[in-house]
Amino acid sequence: MTRLAVTTSPDAWDIPALRFGVAGLLLSPILVRRGIALDRLGWLGLGGLIVGTGAPYALVVAVGLRFAPAYDAGALNPGCMPLFVALIAAIVLREKASKAQKFGLSLILSGALIIIGGHGMAWSSLRIFGDALFLIASFLTACYTVIVRQSKLDPIHVAALVSTGSLVIYAPIYVVLHGSHLAGVPLTELTAQLIFQGIVVTIISLVLYGRAVLILGASGGSAFGALVPALSAVLAIPLLGEWPTASGWGGIFFISAGVYLASGGPLPVFLPCRNDSPSENQCT
pLDDT per position as a tens digit, 103-115: 888 888 888 778 7
Residues 6+ apart with CB under 8 A from 255: 75, 79, 80, 107, 108, 111, 112, 115, 229
CA dihedral 109→114→116→117, nearest 10 degrees, is: 130
Average pLDDT along the chain: 81
- Return the domain boundaries, the chain: 2-282
Note the pLDDT of residue 270: 58
Render pLDDT for 129-162 as a digit per residue (tens, 0 to 9).
998 999 999 999 989 988 988 888 888 899 899 9
Neighbour count for residue 270 (Cβ, 10 Å): 7
**CB 95, CB 84: distance < 8 Å:** no
Give every residue of the chain whose pLDDT is below 50, as ranges: 279-280
